[in-house]
Chains A and B, each alone.
Chain A
Amino acid sequence: RKEVEQDPGPFNVPEGATVAFNCTYSNSASQSFFWYRQDCRKEPKLLMSVYSSGNEDGRFTAQLNRASQYISLLIRDSKLSDSATYLCVVKSGQNFVFGPGTRLSVLP
């Protein structure tokens, strides 16, 4: 089993839709959690950290369930510019472990 798993995707949604991404991790000792966004042929960029109490940044909401070892990202009112691959990232020890990513295409 991979250490970090994500919905396989791709997700094709119309503008304005709400979309949710799911992620699970296997190492219960994992310390920190993040969502990164990666545009085609570019480097990953931090979208948001994920806190135990859940957190929101504009149209983006992240949730963490440590008991279930589950992380989610909700995007409301999708924009064309949200089209990208979303990477679930877990800090284990002194390194990042990345999920395979879920590609989102927001369609006009």
Chain B
Amino acid sequence: DAGVTQSPTHLIKTRGQQVTLRCSPISGHKSVSWYQQVLGQGPQFIFQYYEKEERGRGNFPDRFSARQFPNYSSELNVNALLLGDSALYLCASSLVPGPQGDVGYTFGSGTRLTVV
């Protein structure tokens, strides 16, 4: 079984541009959560989606948006990129919203975004 898959693995964008990151959850999982990890810090929660509806949002500006598709895959969009958006963007999936029991979350390998 494939784990959580994310694409692309690396991306370089210019300030002001827009970017779309993609995540495919583990088969059978209906919830996807997005995290941003800036170098030297722990991951920060951005969004959680379950059954195509937003279930949670972290403290991020409106430039960040996301959606979930009928097949439970998800996209994270960031508009008007800033240098500070450079980070590793992580996706995690779960059967229902939130990390589960003793298993916690399994993360995808992430998309490394560099804004220049």
Contact = CB atoms under 8 A, between A and B. Distances in A.
B104 A49 contact: yes
Contacts of B64: none
Nearest to B44: A98
Given A32-B99, A43-B110, A93-B98, A98 B43 contact: yes
Q: Is the interface of A mostly helix, strand, loop or mixed?
A: strand
Contacts of A44: 43, 90, 107
B41 A100 contact: yes
Interface residues of B, number: 29
B112 interface: yes
A97 interface: yes
A98 B56 contact: no
A95 B33 contact: yes
Given A43-B107, A98-B44, A100-B41, 5 more contacts: A41-B112, A49-B102, A91-B98, A97-B45, A99-B42
Interface of B: 33, 35, 40-45, 48, 55-56, 58, 88, 90, 92, 97-99, 101-110, 112
29 contacts: A4-B42, A36-B104, A41-B88, A41-B112, A43-B108, A44-B90, A44-B107, A45-B107, A46-B103, A46-B104, A46-B105, A46-B106, A49-B102, A49-B104, A87-B42, A91-B98, A91-B99, A91-B104, A93-B98, A94-B56, A95-B45, A95-B98, A95-B99, A96-B35, A96-B43, A96-B99, A96-B105, A100-B42, A101-B41
